[in-house]
Homo-oligomer: A and B are copies of this chain.
Amino acid sequence: MPRLTRADFERLDADDPLAPFRDRFTLPAGVIYLDGNSLGALPKSVPDRVHAMLTKEWGEHLIGGWLKDGWMVKPLELGDRLATLVGAGPGEVAVVDTTSVNLFKMLSAALAMRPDRRVILSNAENFPTDLYMAQGLIAQLGGRHALRIVAEHEIAGAIDKDTAVVMLTETNFKTGAVFDMAEISAAAHAAGALTLWDLAHSAGAFPVDLNGCNADFAVGCSYKYLNAGPGGPAWLFVAERHQKAAHQPLTGWLGHASPFDFALEYQPANGIRRHVCSSPGVIGLVAFEAALDVMLDADMAELRRKSVALCDLFINLVEQECGDAGARLISPRDAGLTAPWRRGSQVSFAHPDGYGIVQALIARGVVGDFRDPDVMRFGFAPLYQRYTDVWDAVAAMRAVLDAGEHRAEQYRVRAAVT
């Protein structure tokens, strides 16, 4: 492979069909932001859209906004638009609550659909909150279920006739490794089990095909690759074929068949609306809506191509420029250019000084993040990332290493935010 130079990256930027999208985001000067996998950047349209909702809708229409401005139907309307991004159909997605709360709902529904089976199967590398939610649900159900945690590579082989549901985060938050959703769904179904996918690090990062993979349930957040802002509204997916059978315990009035009848007995709505519990948080939904508009203007296949190119180039360049530093690639080297995907839109290296390196990079304006025990994580959001960002980030890493900045005293105490 010929040695890469900055000119190669400048040429790639010049030829990038997605390059104009960068202008639709606010990015602080002097910062190379490689943490969009944790919190996406601010789409420029969001402040104006939110301001208009506040002043023109709430301010002028007051209570009338629920109908006049469509606030009440936003969870389903936004769900239908989001569905196109994750391979779901109309009426299969609702935007509502938080990822963890939605996971609780979907897990409850799945367990109730497999009453003779005991096991929720997951993996040790899953994002811990998913495991915690399963533990909370199991305790609530009186302990007759069990959470079985195996290693990532053991999942497919661990599905058996006692497995009620296979609960996985499709993209490993530390390494970026992606499960083969179609293969695991098929294995689960062959054993009579259901699947529940957390797409926090998948939706907006690469093409997700829930129905093509025969997924049963899914949840996801909006604030990583979907750029809806910190703690933005989450979403859930129930495959059409399960919608009659899927019941969950958070039976709030908006999930009622006739919410405005104010009847005393709960009757679930048909379809996905039964999983919407409460009056929606409109301000957050409007921010998400504006952010989603940007994402939906992009071609997902093009986005995937760029994502793979950015990540591949980052790996090659770290090895070319910093190969002597002992950083060990822990992301899959082969991203998968066609499905099944093997790597999401992030690259992680393990390094004994990982914490210090990441902090020293942040001090230089190159924002990645650190995960215990030694993981340096760099996310690439193709909508606003430039190819030259890859070059400049690695140049900064070289400079950090050369100057020993990562060994500074202040990096001995660790703190992290997902």
| Chain A residues within 8 Å of B, Cβ to Cβ | 26, 28, 31, 33, 35, 38-39, 41-42, 46-47, 50-51, 54-55, 58-60, 62-67, 71-72, 97-101, 104, 108, 124, 127-129, 131-133, 135-137, 139-142, 149, 223, 229-234, 247-253, 255-256, 260-266, 277-285, 287, 367, 369, 371-372, 415-418
Q: Check A71 against B251 for contact (C-beta < 8 Å).
A: no
Q: Check A62 against B35 for contact (C-beta < 8 Å).
A: yes
What are 26 A-to-B residue pairs whose CB atoms are below 8 Å? A26-B59, A28-B62, A38-B63, A39-B65, A39-B66, A41-B62, A42-B54, A42-B55, A47-B54, A50-B50, A54-B287, A62-B367, A67-B417, A71-B230, A97-B97, A98-B252, A132-B251, A132-B253, A133-B252, A136-B250, A136-B251, A231-B278, A231-B281, A231-B283, A232-B281, A279-B418
Q: Check A260 against B417 for contact (C-beta < 8 Å).
A: yes
Instruction: List chain B residues, Cβ under 8 A from A71.
Output: 230-231
Q: Check B101 against A250 for contact (C-beta < 8 Å).
A: yes
Instruction: List chain B residues, Cβ under 8 A from A230.
Output: 58, 65-66, 71, 279-283
Q: Check B59 against A28 for contact (C-beta < 8 Å).
A: yes
Q: Check A281 against B100 for contact (C-beta < 8 Å).
A: no
Counting chain B CB atoms within 10 Å of each CB, the highest count among A31, A124, A132 belongs to A132
The smallest C-beta distance from A135 to any residue of chain B, in angstroms, reads: 5
Q: Check B266 against A131 for contact (C-beta < 8 Å).
A: yes
* Assembled-state Cα–Cα distance A131/B255 (Å): 13
- Which residue on chain B has the smallest CB distance to residue A140? B249
Query: Pick the contact of A229 from B58, B139, B232, B266 — CB < 8 Å?
Result: B58
Query: Pick the contact of A265 from B28, B135, B261, B418 — CB < 8 Å?
Result: B135
* Assembled-state Cα–Cα distance A274/B212 (Å): 38
Q: Check B54 against A50 for contact (C-beta < 8 Å).
A: yes
Q: Check B367 against A63 for contact (C-beta < 8 Å).
A: yes
Instruction: List chain B residues, Cβ under 8 A from A31.
Output: 62
Query: Pick the contact of A66 from B42, B266, B417 — CB < 8 Å?
Result: B417
Q: Check B50 against A63 for contact (C-beta < 8 Å).
A: no
Q: Check B149 against A98 for contact (C-beta < 8 Å).
A: no
Q: Which 9 pairs from chain A and chain B are nearest by CB?
A: A136-B251, A98-B278, A129-B253, A140-B249, A100-B252, A132-B266, A231-B281, A230-B282, A136-B249
* Assembled-state Cα–Cα distance A245/B149 (Å): 28
Instruction: List chain B residues, Cβ under 8 A from A131.
Output: 264, 266
The smallest C-beta distance from A144 to any residue of chain B, in angstroms, reads: 9
The smallest C-beta distance from A329 to any residue of chain B, in angstroms, reads: 21
Q: Check A281 against B278 for contact (C-beta < 8 Å).
A: no
Instruction: List chain B residues, Cβ under 8 A from A100.
Output: 250, 252-253, 277-278
- Which residue on chain B has the smallest CB distance to residue A265? B135
For the complex with contacts A35-B62, A131-B264, 20 further pairs of A-B residues with Cβ separation under 8 Å are: A41-B62, A42-B59, A54-B287, A58-B230, A63-B369, A64-B367, A72-B417, A98-B252, A98-B278, A100-B250, A128-B263, A129-B253, A131-B266, A135-B266, A136-B249, A136-B251, A230-B279, A231-B283, A232-B283, A262-B371
Instruction: List chain B residues, Cβ under 8 A from A417.
Output: 63, 66-67, 72, 260
Q: Check B63 against A264 for contact (C-beta < 8 Å).
A: no
Instruction: List chain B residues, Cβ under 8 A from A139.
Output: 247, 249, 251
Instruction: List chain B residues, Cβ under 8 A from A248.
Output: 136
* Assembled-state Cα–Cα distance A50/B127 (Å): 30
* Assembled-state Cα–Cα distance A179/B141 (Å): 33
Instruction: List chain B residues, Cβ under 8 A from A284.
Output: 281, 283-284
* Assembled-state Cα–Cα distance A127/B42 (Å): 38
Q: Check A149 against B35 for contact (C-beta < 8 Å).
A: no
* Assembled-state Cα–Cα distance A97/B281 (Å): 10
* Assembled-state Cα–Cα distance A80/B127 (Å): 30
The smallest C-beta distance from A241 to any residue of chain B, in angstroms, reads: 22
* Assembled-state Cα–Cα distance A26/B59 (Å): 6
- Which residue on chain B has the smallest CB distance to residue A234? B278
